[in-house]
Chain A
Amino acid sequence: MNRLTVKLEKRLTPSPVMAFIIPFISVILALLLGAIFLSLTGQKPLDVYATMFGETLGSKYGLTETMVKAIPLMLTSLGVSLAFKMQLWNIGAEGQLYMGAFGASWLPLTFPTLPIYLMLPGMILLGMAAGGLWALLTALPRAIWKVNEIITSLMLNYVAILWVDYLVYGPWKDPKGSNFPLSAPFPDAARLPGLGNSRIHAGLIFAVLLAIILAVVFKYSRWGYSIKVIGSSERAASYAGMNIKRNIFWVMFISGAISGLAGMAEVSGIIGKLQHGLSPGYGYTAIIVAWLSKLNPLTIIIVSVLFGALQVGGYSVQLMGVPAAVATMLQGAILFFVLGGDILTNYRVILASRKGEEVRH
C-alpha cells in the first residue's frame, strides 16, 4: 500500500457548507474539552452540563434570562461589527453603552412626567445620540490626525464608566434610596414594554431589525460597498473618489449609536434606573461575538444567544461548587475551535498517496 500524506489545498471560494457547520462542531468540541477539564477537577461533566442546559434551555426562567443577557450582546456586537467592516477597531462599545444609558436616563430623571409617546422615543434618540457622539470622540482624532482608534476607544470606556459612577454616587443619587449608587427609579412611561409578560423587552425587536438592516447594508448597499473598499485600501478608496473622513465619522457614529441603544435598552427595559456597574462587560464580549460571527449580522444574533446562555449557565452551576468561570472558559474554547475550523472552510483536505493520486474530501 502507498503511504498516504495529508495535504491542504486552498479552496477557490470558501465552502458554504463548512462555514455553516463549523460553529456547531466547534461548540461540541469545546464542550468535550470542557468535559475533560471538569472531570480533572473531580466534577461529573454530564451532571454539570445537564444543570447548565437544564437551567438555561429547560426552564422558562432560564430561557428568559438567556435572552435578557443576549439582547445587549446582540446590540453591542452589531455596533462593533459595523466599525470592524471598515477596519476601524472600535473597542469602545462598553463606554458607548454606558453613555447611551446616561443619555437615555437624563430624560426621565429630568422630566419624569412626560407621556410615554414622548418619553420612550426621546430616550431612544438621546441614548443613541450619546453613544454616537461618544464614539465621535474616537473618530475625530482618527480621521484628522490618524490617531490609533484602539487606544482612544478603550480609554474612553473608563471615562464613561466613571462618569456614570460619578452621577449615581453624586448628583443623580436617589435621595430616597438608602445610599446605594442608584438613581431614582424611572416612571412607568420610561420603561420599555416586555414581550408578553416576561423580562424580555422590546430591545430584542430593535436588535433583530438592526441585524436585518445591517445584513442588507453590508451585502447589497452602496454604502456597504464603500465601507468594504475603505476597509481594504484607503488609497484605492480615495482614488475612487470616496470620502474617507466622512465615512469614518458616520461609521463610528452609527456604531456608537447602536451600542448606545444597548445601554438605553438596559436601563429602560431591565433595570429601570441608572446604576453603578450596569454592564458585566457586554461591550467586550461583543468583540468576541462579532469576530466569531465573521461580522455577519444574522449570525451575531444566534451567537449572542449562545453566549447569553453560557453566561446564565455559568451562574447556575455555581451552586454545584463549579466556578462560574467555566462559562468564560467555554467561551474561549469555542473561539479557539471556530478559528481553527476556518482552515476547513478555506482549504480542502487532500489525502495523496506517494504516487500523487488524490482522494478528495
Chain B
Amino acid sequence: MNQSLIQLQGIVKKFPGVLANDHVDLDICSGEIHAILGENGSGKSTLMSILAGLYRPDDGNILVNGVEQKFRSPKDAIDCGIGMIHQHFKLVEPFTVAENITLGEKQTSFILASKKLNDRIIELGIKYGLEINPDAKIWQLSVGEKQRVEIVRMLYRGSKVLVLDEPTAVLTPQEAAELFENLRKMAMAGCAVVLITHKLNEVEAVADRVTVLRQGKVAGVLEKHQINAQEMVRLMVGRSVVMQYARSSSSVGKVVLELNKVKALNDMGLPCLREMSLRVREGEVLGLAGVSGNGQREMAEIIAGLRLIQSGEVLLNGQSISNLSPRAIIDLGVAYVPEDRLGMGLVPDLNTLDNLILKNYHRPEYSGRWLLKPRAVQQNADTLVKQYQVKLASLLQPVKLMSGGNLQKLLLAREISSSPKLMVIVYPARGLDIGATEAVHKLLLELKQQKTAILLISEDLDEIFKLADRVGVVFNGQLTGEFPVEQADLEEVGLLMTGSRTARERINDNEPAHS
C-alpha cells in the first residue's frame, strides 16, 4: 500500500490560452484506489492523458517503480502497464468489439485467433461483470456498452494501472457498485486504480486517497480517514454548494408530448420500443429512469425525428409528428440534448460561434435568404457564453478542445435558449462537476417555470428524484411503471429497473433467438 507505483513530479502542461496543469505532483501506490477530483476544466483529463502517454508534459517527470520514464506514445505507457479509459471513447465505430480490443496489436492470423479471442473476451466479461457481445459493431452500441469495451480492452492488455476518466457517469448505481467491487478486486491483486469522478458519494465509498485539483494546481491530498464531502467541496470550489432545491410546483397545463403505442427498431434491426406510451404536460418534468440500452436513446431520437417508427403515433400539442423531418420538428419547438455530445449535439471541429447556431442558422435572426449575419452570430455567442458561464479560451477554437463539462454547458445553452415547447434531455448532468450540475438543474427548473414540457432521461435516480414531477421506468422498450414523485419509492423504482440485465443481453445479442 505504501509502495509508490507511479510518481508524477512537477507536471506542467500548457495549451494555447490555458495552463491546464501547473506543477502537479501525484503519487499512485499499488493496491490503492486513488480518486482525482476537481471542477470542470481543472486539468484532470489532461493530467491523466500525460500519464497515458497521449500528451507530452512541458515540464516535470514521470516515475514508474522509481525509474524515470519518457512516454513518447500511448504504446510506451501501455508497455509500462498503464491503461486509460477515456471520457470520450476512442473506438473505431465500423469495427467489431473484438477487433477494437485487439486493435494495434501484432497478430498473425486474425481468423484463427478469433475463436480464442472471443472466449477470452467473454471470460473477462464474466469475471468483471462486463458482458459484451464480441461480434457486435461499435456503432451499434450505447455509450454504456462502449465503455465496457474500453475497460475490457485494457484488462485484455494486462494493464497494472487502470485509469478511468469518469467511468460511472454512464453507469447505473447498481452497475457502478458492481464496477467498484471489481476495481477493488484488482486493487487487492496489487494493481492500482485511478478514478476521475464528480460524484462525491462514490469517492467516499470507494477511494483510499483523493487528490483534488483546482485550476491546474493540486489543492490538497486527503487520506482515507480525512475523506468527507464537505472537505472535498471546499478544496474543489472554495465555497459551499446547494445540493437540494425547493421543488416549485408550477401549474401543469395541457399535454405537450404524447407517445401512443410506438414501435421501433434499433440499429441492429431488432425491436427497441414495444408499444411505448407516455405523456408529458406543460410545465412538468417526466423523469424516465432505466438502464441504458432499454430503448431510451432510440425514443429520444424518434421524438427528434432522427429515427423512423414502425407503428403507433407521436403527437406534439395534439398534432402528429410521427416520422416528420428533424428540421420540421425543431421548428415546432422541440429541443434535444443527446447523450452523445461531441458525436451528435456539437460539431467537434467547428468553433463555438458556429456550434451555437447549429439549429437556428436558417432563422431570420441569424441569416437572410442567402447570407449569414456575422454580427448577430457573434453577439449570440458572446451572450450565451457569458450567461451560461461556459469557460473557454477563445470563441474561435474548435469545441473539441473544451473540457467535458463545458461542452455540456455549451450544448444546454444552445438548446435552452431556443425557448422550446418540449425539451428532451438525456443524462443532463453526466460529467458535470457539482457546481455545474447545480447550475444545469436550476436551468431546467427555470425552463419548467416557463411552461416547457421536459422529458428527462437519466440513469441517476438521485437526479430524477430531485427534478422530476413524475417518475417513469423504462424497461425493455416499454414503460413499466409511472408514479407521481411523492409516491415513488426508490426501492421500487430500482426494482423495476433491474431484471433489465436479461433485457440488455437480449438487445446485445444479435443472434436469432432459436438455435
Contact = CB atoms under 8 A, between A and B. Distances in A.
Contact of A356 (B59, B343, B346): B59
Nearest to B305: A241
A11 interface: yes
Contacts of A233: 343-344, 347-349
A232 B346 CA distance: 10
Interface in B342-387: 343-350, 354, 357-359, 361-362, 367, 370-372, 374
Interface string A215-238: 010001111011011001101111
A283 to B, nearest CB: 28
B326 A222 contact: no
Contacts of A12: 16-17, 393-394, 396-397
A86 to B, nearest CB: 13
A179 interface: no
B124 interface: no
A220 B326 CA distance: 24
A225 B370 contact: no
Nearest to A224: B372
A13 interface: yes
Interface in A7-65: 7, 9-13
A240 interface: yes
Given A239-B304, A239-B326, A239-B344, A221 B371 contact: yes
B475 interface: no
Interface string A140-163: 000000000000000000000000
Given A11-B16, A12-B17, A232 B350 contact: yes
B429 to A, nearest CB: 21
B69 interface: no
A143 B320 CA distance: 28
Nearest to B18: A12
Given A12-B393, A225-B354, A236 B343 contact: yes
A30 to B, nearest CB: 30
B325 interface: yes
Contacts of A235: 340, 343-344
Contacts of A222: 361-362, 367, 370-372
Contacts of B393: 12
B72 interface: no
B71 interface: no
B350 A229 contact: yes
A232 B361 contact: no
Contacts of A228: 350, 354
B354 A236 contact: no
A35 to B, nearest CB: 37
Interface in A202-257: 216, 220-223, 225-226, 228-229, 232-233, 235-243
A93 to B, nearest CB: 25
Given A236-B345, A240-B359, A220 B371 contact: yes
B370 A232 contact: no
Contact of B325 (A7, A229, A241): A241
7 contacts: A9-B16, A10-B15, A228-B354, A229-B354, A237-B347, A239-B304, A242-B327
Given A12-B17, A232-B350, A241-B327, 20 more contacts: A9-B14, A10-B16, A12-B394, A13-B397, A222-B370, A225-B357, A225-B372, A229-B347, A233-B344, A233-B348, A235-B340, A235-B343, A237-B347, A238-B306, A240-B359, A241-B325, A241-B330, A242-B327, A243-B325, A243-B327
